[in-house]
Amino acid sequence: MKIDDALALIREIPDHPKPGIRFQDITPLLANAQAFCAVTNRFADFADKGVIVAGIEARGFIFASALAHATNSGFVPIRKAGKLPFSVISQSYGLEYGSDTLEIHTDAIAAGSEVLLVDDVLATGGTICAAIELIQRSGASVVQVLTLLEIAELSGRAMIIQRFPGTQITSLVTT
C-alpha cells in the first residue's frame, strides 16, 4: 500500500473529547495491516542506526514501538504521571484541551544518547516539548521528532522550534 492511501484512512471525529476539538482517529489505519506497515516503513526512513526510539503515551507508543522493532532499536516509553514503577523525572505541560504531566524513568536513556521522538499528533506542541525536556534532562538529545499528523492551525511546530531551536520535525500529514 502506498503511504498516501494509508494516510487517507485517518478520519476526523468532530467535538471529541470536547466541543470544538477535531479528533484525528487513527484506528482505521492501525486496523489495516498494509497501512500500518506503510507508515512504519515511512518512519523507518528517518531512523539512523544507534538511535533510541522514544514514544509518547498513548498513541505514540504504537508507532514508536513498531519503529523500534523495524529498525532494531531500543524503545523508551514516555508515560503519563503515575504509570511508571521506578524512579522518574516529571514534566507538566499544557495541551489543546487541558494540562497533563509526562514522566520517564531516570535510567531509561543513557547520557549522550541520540533519541528519535515519536508521537501520533502534533497539535499545540506542549506534549512534544515536555517529552523533549525530559529527554534532555536525561542527558540525551532529540535528533528528530516524527509525527503521523500535524494540525497546523494550532502552531505546535512554531512552539517547539521556539523552545528548542533547530529541532527537526517531520509530520506525514498536515491538516
Instruction: List, by residue number, the catalytic residues.
Output: 59, 96
What does the alpha-carbon distance between residue 150 and residue 168 come to, in Å, rounded to a whole number? 14
Name the β-bridge partners of 23.
13
User: Which of 24, 71, 51 has the alpha carbon at shortest distance from 171?
Assistant: 24
| The amino acid at 111 | A
* Other CB atoms within 10 Å distance of the CB of residue 87: 9
Strands 114-122 and 88-95: unpaired
Q: Which three cell numbers stand for residue 100?
A: 497533563
Q: Which three cell numbers stand for residue 156?
A: 505546535
What does the alpha-carbon distance between residue 18 and residue 8 come to, in Å, rounded to a whole number? 24
